Amino acid sequence: MKRLEGKVAVVTGGARDLGRAVAVKLALEGAKVCVNYAHNEKNAEDTLALIREVGGEAIAVKADVTREDEVKALFDKVVAAFGPKIDILVNVAGGMVARKKVEEQTSDWYDFVMNLNMKSVWLCTREAVQYMDKGAAIVNFSSQAGRDGGGPGASLYATSKAAVLCYTRAMAKELGPRGIRVNALCPGMINTTFHDTFTKPEARENLHNSAPLRREGEAPEVADLVCYLASDESSYITGTGIDINGGCFFS
């Protein structure tokens, strides 16, 4: 019996990198998976192909999860495909987009970053819990930046990810009496296109030389932790923000 046999999972930002690894892992463990994506249909189709390779069942749904109407349409499609019960929500969608010093930031930029990283989590959680019963689980993606304030030009990104941590604790309290668990991950340096884009090569090399484990993390390692938090194996864990950074930062 697979750990997530018969369960339905929604993975926002599930078409690439961490989201893709999570979607494939959940499917491998028996869940029916909705792979949400915002723009790149090919990435989503590639993720579906990987899921089918491991014998999983999945659909891909395009939706901007910062928009209320599109989030509702996303969950309507999940329910139409898999039935009116959702067991797992993994809020991966988010990003830094660019590094900007405080004097370079505008009100529009503030709204964009906060909506991308925090409003998306709120909207998807609000919609998903309508279909969740006892035993369901929500896993949010925060960041090491949400713990330590982030690097240069990442102040709003870090702040939005810290908000995700606080919201995780709040939802754990609110939804706990209904038997719904809510946890968050705080990934550090994971080998993804995020760090290919936003982290200088010398910073990554420095981590290889100084981190306790002397390496970056890999997306499947993050996906393994998500799967654990989504399964009954973690049935007494809620309201936590779990660091996964190879020992580079301790909260």
Task: Mention every residue, 6+ apart, whose C-beta is less than 8 A from residue 181.
Answer: 136, 137, 138, 172, 175, 229, 234, 235, 237, 238
* Separation of first and last alpha carbons in the chain: 36
The CATH H-level (homologous superfamily) assignment of domain 8-244 is: NAD(P)-binding Rossmann-like Domain (3.40.50.720)
Give the single-character DSSP code of 115.
I
pLDDT in tens, 17-73: 999 999 999 999 999 999 999 999 999 999 999 999 999 999 999 999 999 999 999
Q: Where are the domains of the chain?
A: 8-244
Check: CB of residue 53 under 8 Å from CB of residue 23: no
pTM: 0.93
Question: Burial of 236 by CB count in 10 Å (0-12 exposed, 13-18 middle, 19+ buried)?
Answer: exposed
Residues recognised as catalytic: 157
Residues (pLDDT < 70) of the chain are 194-200, 204, 207-208, 249-251
